[in-house]
Amino acid sequence: MNERKLKQLNILVLVSVLASFIVMGLFIFVFSPGKENRIDTDNLKKYNESWVLKSVNGSDDKILDLPINVDASAGDTIILMNRVPEDVNSDTVLVVKTEFQNILVTVNDKKIYSNGVLNDQKLMKNAVPCYNIIDLGNAKPGDVVAIHIASGYDKYSGKLGNIYYGTRGGAVADIVRDNGVSFVVAVAILVLTLVLVVSLLFMKNVNVNKMKSAYAFGFIFTAALWSITGNPIMQLITGNTFGTYMSNMVLLLIMPVLYIMYQRCFAVKRRFAKIFEIGIYVFAINFVTGVVFQFYSVCDFATYEIFTKILITIGLVLLSGIMYLAADTFADKTIYNNFFANMVLTMACIFEAFFSLFNFYKGVDGIILQIGVYLFVVLLVITVEKGIIKEMNQQRDNALSNIDEEKKKTVKHINTQLIYSALNIVVNDLKPRDRENSRLVYDTSIYLKNNLKSITDRDLVPFSEELEYIKAYLGIQAKKNEMLEVTVEDKVIDFNVPFNTIEPLVENAVQNGALRADSDGRIVVRSYERLDCFAIQIVDNGKGIGPDKRFDGKQSFKNIKRRLKKMCGGGIDVNNKPGKGTIVTVKIPKEGFIIKE
């Protein structure tokens, strides 16, 4: 995808996100109805029996129990009347949950509460879904309470659920009990996303795909915020049911844009990128259309939400197919993980739409979609984190590879041939008259040669070559420390070992073992053959501090163990004998055998 196209899409997404936050701010602080009902924070009692349904469309009054769904048309007013319960007091409230319904409550024909009625709500036909907490005030037992409800939508015009009464504390406790788990989960996801974003921002030296991560975390943050604003507990916290609901709708419109933009980051081929671009433009137009329709009262969010959810479901189904093809084409695990997460959300949307057709599901309407969204977001967080870790590991591997290349270049710049030639001249010159020092210079040249070789060489080599390295080191130490006794028993040398793995173990045995012995130091290096492996033993008479306890070699003990396991299936046994010494046994398996840990 060319850079100009990429910038255009980024600008489109940025403008859409900014517009969504501006619109949410307008609904929360500017266009919200003047009368909002805050709740402070007992058990509630049902108040469902013996309600009088006043005449609707000319019918006779009826006595019935709640919940009910009366045959009424949009705009019809339904009046329910009952006596105030005997056990009310000055702290008693009624709790009535409404959907898109205006509600007016009177006691003895005196208005005590209204929501969506007589309020200047130019941008909404009716009140938004909320819990109505109605203070009965000075109402006395036996007074007549009347509830007037009306809706601009046929679906909600005759619908009224359970009514409860109790204290304000009881009302809040009931709402929190019913919605607390989902609210806590959404807040946890929101906080987790913020922590991940902040941690990513502070990783200045980590070269991860910031754009991909930004869209992923932006979408996850928006999805969590959408879940929070759709939760009744948020209405309690903000005290602004209208603004909270409208913010929830705006977030619903903007989420698909962010999600498709994130998935587009994986579209390597132009044909896949083009499909994602079309999806971005479709949902961006859907977002703008929804906001414009709402402001000009062409179609409010309550109605437009149905179209948007259908569009999102269709988009998720198509996206699942595209993602599967992309994952199969590129064999990318990250795309596969995104595909599985997307399938969870897609199936949740489909099942939600299917079960909403049945009456038994009305009481828990939305629970499948809610669970699906949470699972989807969690899976997406895991996928994004895996992607970031993968990129960091790739960067680390590239850095290590670059280091190895630099090492090789540095070694090439050293004129080793000249150095070795000079040392050989010294060796040949000293040999006739001073064999000991001649041998010391020779050992030094071999040790230097292998040290330089260890900078770049990571291959398997014959043990005879590694043993030459070991003998050179021991020869230098024996010359340097006259009280050190060195024994090399090389019975078997015709097998391969990873270069520069045995010699560091010998160095450690000398430094931390033999040279720290209470008496004269002694070091033994022997190689021999077993039925299942070739064995190399390094024995010292130190104080029994083995390399797993203290290691001063050029490599860590864990690194040596890892290289042996990875390159030839070898293993290491360490036998510590306090006060007597340490025996380190390296086992190189023969073909067809396995060394157990």
Delimit the domains of the chain by residue range. 3-32+171-396, 45-166, 485-589
Q: Tell me, what's the pLDDT at 41?
A: 41
Q: 453, 451, 426, 456: which is closest to 438 by C-alpha?
A: 426
Q: Tell me, what's the pLDDT at 40?
A: 42
The DSSP output letter for 127 is: P
What dotted CATH number matches 45-166?
A: 2.60.120.260
Distance CA 199, CA 457 (A): 37
* Domain 3-32+171-396 class in CATH: mainly alpha
Domain 485-589 falls in which CATH fold? Answer: Heat Shock Protein 90 (3.30.565)
Summarised one tens digit per residue, pLDDT across range 178-208 is 888 788 878 887 887 777 777 667 665 555 5
Residue-by-residue pLDDT tens, the chain, 597 positions: 444 455 665 666 667 667 777 776 766 665 555 444 444 445 788 999 999 998 655 667 888 899 888 888 888 888 999 999 988 888 889 999 988 888 999 999 899 988 876 455 555 555 788 889 999 878 899 999 999 998 888 888 888 889 999 888 888 888 888 888 788 878 887 887 777 777 667 665 555 566 777 788 888 888 888 888 988 888 888 888 888 888 898 999 999 998 888 888 877 677 778 888 888 899 999 999 988 887 777 777 778 888 888 898 898 898 888 888 877 776 677 788 888 888 988 898 888 888 888 877 766 677 788 788 888 888 887 887 777 777 767 766 776 666 666 666 665 556 566 666 776 777 777 777 777 778 888 888 888 888 777 766 668 999 999 999 999 999 999 888 888 999 999 889 999 999 989 999 999 888 888 888 878 889 999 999 999 999 999 999 887 764 545 566 667 888 899 899 999 999 999 888 877 889 999 999 998 888 876
Summarised one tens digit per residue, pLDDT across range 391-400 is 767 766 776 6
Question: CA dihedral defined by 540, 543, 547, 553, rounded to 10 degrees?
Answer: -70
Determine contact, residues 432/404, Cβ cutoff 8 Å.
Answer: no
Tell me the residue type at 367: I
β-strands 581-589, 571-577: how paired? Answer: antiparallel
Tell me if residue 136 falls in helix, strand or coil.
coil
Query: 């989807």: which residue's tokens?
Result: 376
Whether the predicted model's global pTM rises above the 0.75 cut: no
β-strands 51-53, 62-64: how paired? Answer: antiparallel
Q: Tell me, what's the pLDDT at 296?
A: 77
Query: 């306090």: which residue's tokens?
Result: 578
Determine contact, residues 470/503, Cβ cutoff 8 Å.
Answer: yes
Determine contact, residues 82/92, Cβ cutoff 8 Å.
Answer: no
Measured in degrees and rounded to the nearest 5, phi and psi for residue 589 equal -65, 145
Distance CA 401, CA 399 (A): 5
Determine contact, residues 343/317, Cβ cutoff 8 Å.
Answer: no
Q: Tell me, what's the pLDDT at 12?
A: 62
Token pair in block for residue 111: 């208005």
Q: Classify residue 512 as exposed, middle or buried by CB count within 10 Å of its CB (0-12, 13-18, 19+).
A: buried
Distance CA 468, CA 478 (A): 15
Half-sphere exposure of 534 (CA within 13 A, CB side): 19
Contacts of 596 (CB under 8 A, 6+ apart): 571
Neighbours of 509 (CB within 10 A): 27
